[in-house]
Amino acid sequence: MSENRSPAHPLAAYKELIDQLASETSHGVTERIVLEKGAFLERSDDAVYNTLLKSLTIEEKGMLARLIHNERISAIHDVLALLTWWINARGLGFTFRGDAMPVNLSGMGLHGDYVGRLDGWNWPDQTA
């Protein structure tokens, strides 16, 4: 994960969580394997895709890796959108060390914060 020190406040924890999703978990092993290795280990469950991967050009592998990357971002977005719905419709809340964690700093839900941070959006001026 990003840092060894723990955030001091719920706002800082929320920002770190979204930033980690945007910077660390938005990139997956599968896309790297497609781009860098071009094949999965023969003993892996994904080895069934090696015939396809080996038939692709470098450009096609790049396109496939981008597709895999976009699907990963989409999945994270969809989970955050569902959590936003639960927050708004069902009263779900997050806490950090027992204190309420602010969410939805963009005004567009957790998924909006995530997409914003992926696009280089700066956090609004707030404490922490």
What does the pLDDT look like over 59-85, one tens digit per residue?
999 999 999 999 999 999 999 999 999
Exposure string (b/e) for 32-65, b if CB count within 10 Å is 16 or more? ebbbeeebbeeeeeeeebeeebeeeeeeebeebb
Task: Tell me which amino acid residue 57 is.
Answer: T
Give the Cα separation of 67 and 44 in Å (integer).
21
Helix (H) or strand (E) holding 113, with range, is helix 109-118
What does the pLDDT look like over 40-56, one tens digit per residue?
999 999 999 999 999 99
pLDDT in the model for residue 6: 86
Give the Cα separation of 39 and 30 in Å (integer).
10
pLDDT in the model for residue 25: 86
